[in-house]
Amino acid sequence: MAIELFRIDDRLIHGQVVVGWGQPLDLTFIVLVDDEVASSEWEQELYRMGVPPEMDVHFHSVGEAAEKLTAYQRDERRGALLTGDIETMARLIELTGTIARVNLGGIHHRTGRTQRLRYVFLAPDEEQALRSLAARGIDVSAQDVPAARPLALSEVLSGEGNR
Amino acid sequence: MSDPDAEARALVAGHGDFAAGIVSAVGQITGRGDAFVPLSNRDMSAADVERAMREQVDARGLEVIFTDLPAGSCTMAARRLQRERPNIVLVTGTNLATLLDFVFHTDVPAVEAARHAADKGRAALVVTGGSTGGH
């Protein structure tokens, strides 16, 4: 599979993704799925400046990403797909049905969210959305960097991941 | 010794304890660690980093931001600030030599000192040894 990492991270492209995951996984492209970024040249330029020149970045709305995902999954290169929130990833999964594993990489504090891990805070509807993904057989786990132990969704929601 | 009356001239932002550490090193070498305000992005969302950066820049009237990594969320936040405030100068890939040069150029505006410091920092990266000749 050419998409090695399907990650939910509200920082989208940043150090953990480009360097922390990018180097050990030998990532050479990133698919950034975000309706707002996909409609803003300025936002795209901002994120493009954050990656090394040998790494390609593709910006798509959820609908566009759904149409192109199969092609990315067949790409000979290794890539990562990023969304900034759970809802976007859930919509993409709903439209494609070809995503087997989701990484929770950074969902930070916001009003209405409860802390589950140092880097994962969830609102009730977000928790439910993750439970729904898991119920349909998708492997949902939290892992901010490759050297950390991946925590299953059950560990995240039960608070075991904080012990 | 730090000058208690000295005003910070730049923000230093980065991952983990990068900012606090490198500012501490500047302080140890020059006694002028107070020229910088350190900021960590640890466990912060992109919006949180931008908010924290904006608060420091506004409160202290800073026009220079040093960050550690071009791809980092601190750099992204600084670039978003630059969009509103084009007068801000951002230097990314900051190393100790960069900040040391910056603190000694108090006779020029901070933005000018930052550009000079970036040149110094770039030139300070040197590799020696590692001969593969085997003789």
> pLDDT tens digit string along B2-19?
444 468 999 999 999 999
Chain A contacts in chain B segment 60-119 (CB below 8 A):
69-73, 75-76, 79-80, 83
pLDDT given at position A163 = 62
Alpha carbon separation from B126 to A54, A94, B129 (Å, rounded):
23, 51, 10
Interface test with B, best of A8, A10, A11 (most B CBs within 10 A): A11
C-alpha A133/C-alpha A144 separation (Å) is 19
Interface test with A, best of B51, B73, B83, B90 (most A CBs within 10 A): B73
Is residue A14 part of the annotated active site? The answer reads yes
Contacts of A78 (CB under 8 A, 6+ apart): A2, A4, A25, A26, A27, A28, A29
Contact B14, B41 (CB under 8 A): yes
Average pLDDT taken over every residue of chain B: 92
Nearest to A103 by CA among A23, A22, A9, A24: A9
Alpha carbon separation from B54 to A86, A138, B27, B130 (Å, rounded):
27, 39, 24, 44
pLDDT given at position B133 = 62
Q: Which residues pair with B38 in a beta bridge?
A: B12
pTM score over 0.95: no
C-alpha B82/C-alpha B62 separation (Å) is 12
Q: What is the pLDDT of residues A64-94, one digit of tens each?
A: 999 999 999 999 999 999 999 999 999 999 9
ipTM of the modeled complex: 0.81
Within 10 Å of residue A83's Cβ, how many Cβ atoms?
24
Contact A14 B45 (CB under 8 A): no
Give how far B100 is from chain A: nearest CA, Å.
25
Contact B71 A10 (CB under 8 A): no
Write the burial class of residue A115 (CB in 10 Å: 0-12 exposed, 13-18 middle, 19+ buried). middle
**By a Cβ cutoff of 8 Å, what residues of chain A touch chain B?**
10-15, 17-19, 42, 46-47, 49-52, 106, 108-110, 118-119
Complete domains list, chain A, with CATH: 3-162 (3.40.35.10)
Which residue has tokens 């991952």? B15
C-alpha A71/C-alpha B45 separation (Å) is 31
Q: What is the pLDDT of residues B32-55, one digit of tens each?
A: 999 999 999 999 999 999 999 999
Decide if pLDDT at A28 tops 50: yes
DSSP 8-class letter at B7 = P
Q: Which residues of B touch A46 (CB under 8 A)?
A: 76, 79-80
Q: What is the pLDDT of residues A103-158, one digit of tens each?
A: 999 999 999 999 999 999 999 999 999 999 999 999 999 999 999 999 999 999 99
Q: Which two tokens stand for residue A127?
A: 């928790």
Contact B72 A15 (CB under 8 A): yes
Domain B10-123, CATH among 3.40.50.510, 3.80.30.20, 3.40.50.2300, 3.40.50.300: 3.40.50.510
Contact B80, B88 (CB under 8 A): no
Give how far A14 is from chain B: nearest CA, Å.
4
